[in-house]
């Protein structure tokens, strides 16, 4: 199992997830990703057990991988018109 | 600040930027001139400090974003010197605020720059710097 991640690593993961969220062309997925990362990080804020923290961090990293790949796939089929929410 | 603005005058030749720099530079030159007479500079020097550091609109926009992000009540006072921790923000909130600023001003803040931001004035200064270096 990985050792407990440092604060910097956790914040860096948070930033990466938010940055990846920005790359989505679909408004809904973009907003969901931002919302979900904020909620998940806040929910896990009070964790103290190193094993739990490491598990949550690993989970976050795998989700980051998923998000990055999906951003690429979605951009291939991006709609040409903007969503009404973005106007 | 003076050395940074000197660089801009040398390397960039856009008229708009030059005008910007000219106005700020002329203000700074005036401060140097007035330094000889005691008593006089006191009134003007504090004003020059604010206008040379970051534009008021930038500071206002930053305040607006911070207010919205932290869901502060409208009567809560925000000065450029307020730190984010004063307003009850933790490190996650700070990252979110920086993300919001990146989106608003269309800039990219590097990791090491982000650690230095602790109060609103610093954020506005960094934004000004990044916007100026981008254009």
Q: Contact B91/A38, CB-based, under 8 Å? A: no
Task: Let me know: does B56 contact B127? Beta carbons within 8 Å.
Answer: no
For residues A5 and A58, give the distance between their C-alpha atoms in angstroms, rounded to a whole number: 9
Q: What pLDDT shows up at residue B38?
A: 54
Nearest residue of A to residue B109 by CA position? A15
Task: Let me know: does A30 contact A22? Beta carbons within 8 Å.
Answer: yes
The string of pLDDT tens digits covering residues A18-33 is 999 999 988 899 999 9
Per-residue confidence at B3, pLDDT binned at 50, 70, 90?
Answer: very low
State whether the Cα torsion A31-A83-B70-B49 is positive or negative.
positive
For residue B119, list its beta bridge partners.
Answer: B83
Q: What pLDDT shows up at residue B78?
A: 76
For residues B121 and B55, give the distance between their C-alpha atoms in angstroms, rounded to a whole number: 10
Chain A, residues 39-58, CB within 8 A of chain B, namely 41-42, 45
Q: What pLDDT shows up at residue B16?
A: 52
Across B38-51, average pLDDT: 48
Selecting from B92, B99, B111 the residue whose C-beta is nearest the C-beta of A42 gives B92
Task: Let me know: does A67 contact A40? Beta carbons within 8 Å.
Answer: no
Chain A CB contacts of B99 below 8 Å: 15, 18-19
The rounded percent of chain B whose pLDDT value lies above 70 is 60
Write phi, then psi, for B108 (nearest 5 degrees). -125, 120
For residues B74 and A32, give the distance between their C-alpha atoms in angstroms, rounded to a whole number: 28
Per-residue confidence at A46, pLDDT binned at 50, 70, 90?
Answer: confident
Across A52-76, average pLDDT: 93
Q: Contact A18/B96, CB-based, under 8 Å? A: yes
For residues B69 and B89, give the distance between their C-alpha atoms in angstroms, rounded to a whole number: 10
| B27 CB-near residues (< 8 Å, 6+ apart) | B48, B51, B52
Nearest residue of B to residue A22 by CA position? B103
For residue B83, list its beta bridge partners.
Answer: B119
Q: What pLDDT shows up at residue A30?
A: 92
Higher pLDDT, B54 or A33: A33
Q: What pLDDT shows up at residue B9?
A: 44
Q: Which two tokens mark A13?
A: 């993961």
Across A4-17, average pLDDT: 90
Q: E strands, A8-62, where?
A: none
Q: What pLDDT shows up at residue A16?
A: 92
Q: Does the pLDDT at position B14 exceed 50?
A: no
Across A46-63, average pLDDT: 91
Q: What pLDDT shows up at residue B33?
A: 44
Cβ-defined contacts of B124-130 (< 8 Å, 24+): B124/B53, B124/B54, B124/B55, B124/B58, B124/B59, B124/B62, B124/B80, B125/B53, B125/B54, B127/B54, B127/B58, B127/B62, B127/B101, B128/B54, B128/B55, B128/B58, B129/B4, B130/B105
Q: Contact A38/B96, CB-based, under 8 Å? A: yes
Per-residue confidence at B53, pLDDT binned at 50, 70, 90?
Answer: low
Residues shown for chain A: 87
The string of pLDDT tens digits covering residues B75-122 is 777 777 888 888 888 888 888 888 888 888 888 888 788 888 888 888
Helix, strand, or coil here: B95? Answer: helix
């Amino acid at each position: 199992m990985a050792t407990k991640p440092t604060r910097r690593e956790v914040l860096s993961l948070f930033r990466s997830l938010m940055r990846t969220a920005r790359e989505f062309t679909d408004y809904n997925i973009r907003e969901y990703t931002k919302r979900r990362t904020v909620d998940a990080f806040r929910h896990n804020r009070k964790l103290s057990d190193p094993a739990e923290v490491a598990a949550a961090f690993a989970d976050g990293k795998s989700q980051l991988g998923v998000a990055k790949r999906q951003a690429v796939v979605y951009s291939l089929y991006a709609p040409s018109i903007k969503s009404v929410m973005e106007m | 600040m003076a050395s940074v603005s000197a660089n801009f005058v040398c390397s960039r030749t856009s008229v708009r930027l030059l005008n910007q720099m000219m106005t700020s530079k002329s203000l700074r030159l005036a401060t140097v001139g007035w330094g000889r007479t005691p008593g006089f500079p006191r009134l003007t020097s504090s004003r020059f400090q604010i206008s040379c550091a970051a534009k008021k609109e930038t500071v206002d926009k930053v305040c607006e974003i911070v207010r919205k992000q932290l869901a502060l009540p409208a009567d809560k006072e925000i000065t450029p010197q307020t730190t984010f921790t004063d307003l009850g923000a933790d490190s996650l909130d700070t990252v979110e605020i920086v993300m919001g600023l990146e989106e608003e001003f269309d800039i990219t803040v590097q990791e090491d720059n982000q650690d230095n931001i602790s109060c609103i004035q610093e954020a506005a200064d960094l934004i000004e710097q990044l916007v100026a270096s981008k254009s």
